[in-house]
Amino acid sequence: MSSDLVYAAKHAKGFMPHEEGTALFEAACRYGKLGPICEIGTYCGKSAIYLGAAARHAGSVVITVDHHRGSEEIQPGWAHHDPTLVDPRFGKMDSLPTFRNTIAAAGLEDEVIAIVGSSERVAGLWRAPLGMLFIDGGHSEEPVTRDYEGWAPHVVEGGALVFHDVYPDPADGGQAPYRVYLRALESGAFTEVSALGSVRVLERVGPGI
Protein backbone atom coordinates (compact mmCIF):
# COMPACT_ATOMS: atom_id res chain seq x y z
CA MET A 1 0.00 0.00 0.00
CA SER A 2 1.11 3.54 -0.65
CA SER A 3 2.11 5.57 2.38
CA ASP A 4 -0.84 7.94 2.00
CA LEU A 5 -3.33 5.05 2.01
CA VAL A 6 -1.61 3.44 5.00
CA TYR A 7 -1.95 6.76 6.82
CA ALA A 8 -5.61 7.06 5.83
CA ALA A 9 -6.37 3.51 6.97
CA LYS A 10 -4.59 3.88 10.30
CA HIS A 11 -6.45 7.10 11.12
CA ALA A 12 -9.91 6.10 9.91
CA LYS A 13 -12.62 5.33 12.46
CA GLY A 14 -13.08 1.60 12.93
CA PHE A 15 -11.84 -1.60 14.54
CA MET A 16 -9.41 -3.14 12.03
CA PRO A 17 -5.84 -3.40 13.41
CA HIS A 18 -3.27 -2.39 10.81
CA GLU A 19 -1.57 -5.81 10.77
CA GLU A 20 -4.89 -7.51 10.04
CA GLY A 21 -5.74 -4.81 7.50
CA THR A 22 -2.47 -5.55 5.74
CA ALA A 23 -3.39 -9.26 5.61
CA LEU A 24 -6.75 -8.24 4.14
CA PHE A 25 -5.02 -6.05 1.56
CA GLU A 26 -2.67 -8.86 0.52
CA ALA A 27 -5.55 -11.34 0.12
CA ALA A 28 -7.57 -8.84 -1.90
CA CYS A 29 -4.58 -8.12 -4.17
CA ARG A 30 -4.42 -11.83 -4.96
CA TYR A 31 -8.08 -12.71 -5.28
CA GLY A 32 -9.35 -9.41 -6.61
CA LYS A 33 -7.89 -10.37 -9.97
CA LEU A 34 -10.58 -13.07 -10.22
CA GLY A 35 -13.55 -10.74 -9.85
CA PRO A 36 -15.11 -8.04 -7.67
CA ILE A 37 -14.34 -7.87 -3.96
CA CYS A 38 -17.41 -7.80 -1.72
CA GLU A 39 -17.34 -6.56 1.86
CA ILE A 40 -20.24 -7.25 4.22
CA GLY A 41 -20.15 -4.67 7.01
CA THR A 42 -18.88 -1.24 5.97
CA TYR A 43 -19.20 0.81 9.17
CA CYS A 44 -17.02 3.91 8.65
CA GLY A 45 -14.84 2.59 5.83
CA LYS A 46 -11.60 1.66 7.58
CA SER A 47 -11.33 -1.84 6.09
CA ALA A 48 -12.67 -0.54 2.77
CA ILE A 49 -9.47 1.50 2.45
CA TYR A 50 -7.38 -1.67 2.58
CA LEU A 51 -9.72 -3.37 0.12
CA GLY A 52 -9.90 -0.33 -2.16
CA ALA A 53 -6.11 -0.07 -2.26
CA ALA A 54 -5.98 -3.73 -3.27
CA ALA A 55 -8.70 -3.26 -5.88
CA ARG A 56 -6.66 -0.48 -7.46
CA HIS A 57 -3.63 -2.78 -7.54
CA ALA A 58 -5.60 -5.74 -8.96
CA GLY A 59 -7.69 -3.78 -11.45
CA SER A 60 -10.82 -4.73 -9.54
CA VAL A 61 -13.58 -3.00 -7.58
CA VAL A 62 -14.98 -3.22 -4.05
CA ILE A 63 -18.70 -3.55 -3.36
CA THR A 64 -19.35 -2.79 0.32
CA VAL A 65 -22.78 -3.60 1.79
CA ASP A 66 -24.21 -2.13 4.98
CA HIS A 67 -27.49 -0.61 6.18
CA HIS A 68 -25.35 1.89 8.13
CA ARG A 69 -27.66 1.78 11.15
CA GLY A 70 -25.07 -0.12 13.16
CA SER A 71 -24.76 -3.72 14.25
CA GLU A 72 -25.89 -4.76 17.72
CA GLU A 73 -22.50 -4.24 19.34
CA ILE A 74 -22.33 -0.52 18.52
CA GLN A 75 -25.81 0.47 19.69
CA PRO A 76 -26.33 2.66 22.80
CA GLY A 77 -25.42 0.79 25.96
CA TRP A 78 -22.89 -1.48 24.24
CA ALA A 79 -19.12 -1.33 24.58
CA HIS A 80 -18.35 -0.11 21.04
CA HIS A 81 -21.06 2.57 20.86
CA ASP A 82 -19.90 5.87 19.33
CA PRO A 83 -22.40 8.65 20.14
CA THR A 84 -20.93 10.88 17.41
CA LEU A 85 -22.47 8.52 14.83
CA VAL A 86 -26.04 8.95 16.07
CA ASP A 87 -28.28 10.99 13.78
CA PRO A 88 -30.22 13.22 16.21
CA ARG A 89 -33.07 13.66 13.73
CA PHE A 90 -34.02 10.00 13.96
CA GLY A 91 -32.21 8.84 17.08
CA LYS A 92 -30.49 6.10 15.07
CA MET A 93 -26.93 5.22 14.18
CA ASP A 94 -25.83 6.48 10.77
CA SER A 95 -22.27 5.67 9.71
CA LEU A 96 -22.85 6.50 6.02
CA PRO A 97 -21.70 10.16 6.09
CA THR A 98 -18.49 9.19 7.90
CA PHE A 99 -17.90 6.36 5.44
CA ARG A 100 -18.31 8.71 2.47
CA ASN A 101 -15.87 11.20 3.97
CA THR A 102 -13.38 8.41 4.70
CA ILE A 103 -13.38 7.04 1.16
CA ALA A 104 -13.33 10.49 -0.46
CA ALA A 105 -10.41 11.61 1.69
CA ALA A 106 -8.54 8.43 0.73
CA GLY A 107 -9.15 9.08 -2.97
CA LEU A 108 -10.83 5.71 -3.45
CA GLU A 109 -14.28 6.69 -4.74
CA ASP A 110 -13.58 5.03 -8.10
CA GLU A 111 -12.62 1.75 -6.45
CA VAL A 112 -15.18 1.51 -3.62
CA ILE A 113 -18.91 1.29 -4.37
CA ALA A 114 -21.35 1.43 -1.46
CA ILE A 115 -24.66 -0.42 -1.39
CA VAL A 116 -26.91 0.82 1.42
CA GLY A 117 -29.27 -1.92 2.56
CA SER A 118 -29.46 -5.10 4.61
CA SER A 119 -27.02 -7.83 3.65
CA GLU A 120 -29.80 -10.42 3.44
CA ARG A 121 -31.97 -8.40 1.04
CA VAL A 122 -29.09 -7.39 -1.20
CA ALA A 123 -27.79 -10.98 -1.29
CA GLY A 124 -31.21 -12.11 -2.52
CA LEU A 125 -30.81 -9.85 -5.56
CA TRP A 126 -27.11 -10.48 -6.19
CA ARG A 127 -26.05 -12.48 -9.26
CA ALA A 128 -22.43 -11.54 -10.08
CA PRO A 129 -19.57 -13.93 -9.24
CA LEU A 130 -17.08 -12.66 -6.65
CA GLY A 131 -13.32 -12.98 -6.55
CA MET A 132 -13.30 -12.39 -2.80
CA LEU A 133 -15.90 -12.08 -0.05
CA PHE A 134 -15.06 -10.44 3.28
CA ILE A 135 -17.57 -11.08 6.08
CA ASP A 136 -17.36 -8.48 8.84
CA GLY A 137 -20.94 -7.40 9.57
CA GLY A 138 -22.97 -8.25 12.67
CA HIS A 139 -21.09 -10.61 14.95
CA SER A 140 -23.89 -12.57 16.58
CA GLU A 141 -25.02 -15.96 15.31
CA GLU A 142 -27.92 -14.93 13.07
CA PRO A 143 -26.27 -12.15 11.00
CA VAL A 144 -23.02 -14.05 10.46
CA THR A 145 -24.96 -17.12 9.35
CA ARG A 146 -27.13 -15.06 6.98
CA ASP A 147 -24.06 -13.37 5.50
CA TYR A 148 -22.38 -16.72 4.89
CA GLU A 149 -25.45 -18.43 3.42
CA GLY A 150 -26.43 -15.46 1.28
CA TRP A 151 -23.05 -14.50 -0.13
CA ALA A 152 -20.57 -17.40 0.00
CA PRO A 153 -22.22 -19.25 -2.95
CA HIS A 154 -21.19 -16.33 -5.18
CA VAL A 155 -17.45 -16.84 -4.57
CA VAL A 156 -15.85 -18.30 -7.69
CA GLU A 157 -13.78 -21.46 -7.53
CA GLY A 158 -10.25 -20.36 -6.71
CA GLY A 159 -11.65 -17.22 -5.05
CA ALA A 160 -11.55 -16.37 -1.36
CA LEU A 161 -13.89 -16.22 1.62
CA VAL A 162 -12.38 -14.08 4.39
CA PHE A 163 -13.65 -13.84 7.96
CA HIS A 164 -12.78 -11.20 10.56
CA ASP A 165 -12.97 -11.56 14.34
CA VAL A 166 -12.44 -15.32 14.41
CA TYR A 167 -11.57 -16.21 18.02
CA PRO A 168 -11.15 -19.90 18.88
CA ASP A 169 -10.85 -18.96 22.57
CA PRO A 170 -14.11 -17.51 23.97
CA ALA A 171 -12.05 -15.37 26.33
CA ASP A 172 -10.82 -13.37 23.34
CA GLY A 173 -14.15 -12.55 21.71
CA GLY A 174 -17.55 -13.67 20.44
CA GLN A 175 -17.86 -17.13 18.96
CA ALA A 176 -20.34 -16.69 16.10
CA PRO A 177 -17.74 -15.83 13.40
CA TYR A 178 -15.61 -18.74 14.61
CA ARG A 179 -18.50 -21.20 14.38
CA VAL A 180 -19.47 -20.07 10.88
CA TYR A 181 -15.80 -20.21 9.84
CA LEU A 182 -15.72 -23.84 11.02
CA ARG A 183 -18.91 -24.52 9.11
CA ALA A 184 -17.30 -23.20 5.93
CA LEU A 185 -14.31 -25.50 6.41
CA GLU A 186 -16.53 -28.49 7.20
CA SER A 187 -18.55 -27.89 4.02
CA GLY A 188 -15.59 -29.06 1.93
CA ALA A 189 -16.04 -26.06 -0.35
CA PHE A 190 -13.24 -24.08 1.28
CA THR A 191 -9.75 -24.69 2.59
CA GLU A 192 -7.77 -22.34 4.80
CA VAL A 193 -4.76 -20.71 3.15
CA SER A 194 -3.70 -18.12 5.73
CA ALA A 195 -4.41 -16.73 9.17
CA LEU A 196 -3.20 -13.59 10.93
CA GLY A 197 -4.68 -12.38 14.19
CA SER A 198 -8.44 -12.79 13.85
CA VAL A 199 -8.40 -12.80 10.03
CA ARG A 200 -8.90 -16.14 8.27
CA VAL A 201 -8.52 -16.50 4.49
CA LEU A 202 -10.24 -19.51 2.94
CA GLU A 203 -9.98 -20.45 -0.73
CA ARG A 204 -12.88 -22.01 -2.57
CA VAL A 205 -11.90 -25.44 -3.87
CA GLY A 206 -15.25 -26.88 -4.93
CA PRO A 207 -19.03 -27.02 -4.47
CA GLY A 208 -20.78 -27.90 -1.24
CA ILE A 209 -21.88 -24.65 0.39
Q: Which residues are catalytic?
A: 139
Q: Per DSSP, what are the bridge partners of residue 199? A: 196
**Beta carbons of 80 and 73 less than 8 angstroms apart:** yes
The DSSP code sequence of the chain is: --HHHHHHHHHSSSS--HHHHHHHHHHHHHHGGGS-EEEE--TTSHHHHHHHHHHHHHT--EEEEE-SS--GGGSTTSTT--GGGEETTTTEE--HHHHHHHHHHHT-TTTEEEEES-HHHHHHH--S-EEEEEE-S--SHHHHHHHHHHHGGGEEEEEEEEESS--SSTTTS-SHHHHHHHHHHHTTSEEEEEEETTEEEEEE-SS--
